[in-house]
């Protein structure tokens, strides 16, 4: 929660999930970089670090550490979830890449320093971005993220969520640009809309702090209406949102992410007959963020 308004200084809620992304690393005796991922296989070297259209986050992280790479690397990326289902997968890759490269190069950076690096990479690739998903991936748990001072408040909660993929994506950068264009002749109204989005997000977080889940669910549904007003809803996403709300096991539903594609999130366990023709996954919240283990 807090999508879009967080880019303009308002707080956002995000969470890590029990579906994990892992990167397995090993050093090489040469200077080659071998990357294996469901998004593509790529071979380059520490001097060149050639681009790959599906591995831009991986290459961007390698370039940041390029001067500190003294050997080649084998990098194998495994994920519990498909990249098509969203779940902040690019942020998860970014967090895992930065954490692994930091360990390999013995930089020993704090989570805050890793976030700073990651945010620069996000903004270099997307043009805009708050880093909310990155903060959640690094810290774990439910977080209230304040982009103005990049602070994180953590909260421990657990409830099931159902994510439904609409079948297509629009990049975050494209969505943000569309919003900026659509509202360019109504800047004051857009400013007020972002304020209401920020207030709704903070109220939702306070509901969780108070263990008032019914109040939280109401604010989730309210935020969906604000996303619609912003112009990032469409017919397919709206269909998914309202079909989920017809499911007695779902307490609230909204767009997950920047909109105009990707996923809708339902709070609860969706029944199989609710949206049988769409890809979906069931997840739980997780307290675990970035974790590094050695063999």
Residues 41-53: b if buried by 16+ CB within 10 A, e if exposed = ebebebeebeebe
Residue 12 has pLDDT above 70, yes or no: yes
For the chain, list the domains and their CATH numbers: 16-153 (3.30.230.10), 157-286 (3.30.70.890)
Can you give the pTM of this predicted structure? 0.90
Mean pLDDT of 54-64: 96
pLDDT of residue 82: 66
Q: How many angstroms separate the Cα of 183 from the Cα of each of 90, 151, 232, 274?
A: 27, 29, 12, 35
Confidence of residue 22 (pLDDT cuts 50, 70, 90): very high
Confidence of residue 171 (pLDDT cuts 50, 70, 90): confident
Residue 295 has pLDDT above 80, yes or no: no
The three-class DSSP label of residue 284 is strand
Return the minimum-mean-pLDDT range out of 49-53, 154-158, 216-220, 228-232.
154-158
108 or 270, which is more confident?
270
pLDDT of residue 25: 97
Q: With pLDDT > 70 as the criterion, what percentage of the chain qualifies?
A: 97
Q: What share of the chain is helix, strand, coil (3-state, %, to 5)?
A: 40, 25, 35
pLDDT digits (tens, 9 = 90+) for 178-219: 999 999 999 999 999 999 999 999 999 999 999 999 999 999
pLDDT of residue 249: 98
pLDDT of residue 84: 60
pLDDT of residue 19: 86
Q: What is the DSSP string of 92-146?
A: HHHHHHHHHHHHHTT----HHHHHHHHHHHHHHHHS----HHHHHHHH-SEEEEE
Q: Give the span between the Cα atoms of 163 and 256, in whole angstroms.
A: 8
Q: Give the span between the Cα atoms of 97 and 193, in whole angstroms.
A: 35
pLDDT digits (tens, 9 = 90+) for 87-131: 568 899 999 999 999 999 999 899 999 999 999 999 999 877 889
Mean of all residue pLDDT scores within the chain: 94
pLDDT of residue 193: 99
């Amino acid at each position: 929660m807090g999508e879009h308004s967080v880019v303009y200084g308002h707080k956002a809620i995000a969470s890590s999930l029990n579906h994990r992304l892992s990167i397995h690393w090993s050093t090489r005796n040469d200077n080659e970089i071998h990357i294996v991922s469901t998004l593509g296989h790529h071979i380059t070297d520490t001097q060149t670090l050639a681009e790959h259209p599906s591995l831009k986050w991986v290459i961007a992280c390698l370039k940041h550490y390029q001067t500190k790479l003294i050997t080649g690397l084998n990098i194998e990326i495994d994920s519990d979830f498909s990249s098509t289902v969203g779940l902040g997968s690019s942020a998860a890759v970014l967090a895992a890449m930065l954490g692994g490269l930091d360990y390999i190069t013995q930089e020993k950076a704090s989570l805050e320093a890793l976030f700073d690096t990651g945010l620069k990479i996000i903004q270099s690739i997307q043009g805009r971005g708050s880093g909310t998903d990155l903060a959640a991936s690094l810290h774990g748990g439910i977080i209230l993220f304040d982009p103005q001072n990049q602070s994180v408040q953590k909260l421990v909660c657990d409830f099931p969520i159902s994510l439904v993929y609409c079948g297509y994506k629009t990049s975050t950068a494209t969505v943000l640009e569309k919003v900026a264009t659509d509202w360019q002749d109504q800047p004051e109204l857009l400013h007020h809309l972002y304020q209401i989005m920020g207030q709704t997000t903070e109220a939702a977080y306070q509901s969780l702090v108070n263990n008032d889940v019914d109040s939280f669910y109401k604010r989730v549904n309210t935020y969906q209406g604000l996303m619609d007003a912003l112009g990032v809803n469409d017919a397919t996403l709206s269909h998914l949102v309202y079909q989920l709300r017809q499911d007695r096991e779902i307490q609230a539903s909204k767009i997950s992410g920047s909109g105009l594609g990707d996923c809708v999130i339902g709070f609860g366990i969706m029944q199989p007959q609710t949206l049988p023709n769409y890809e979906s996954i069931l997840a739980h919240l997780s307290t675990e963020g970035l974790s590094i283990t050695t063999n």
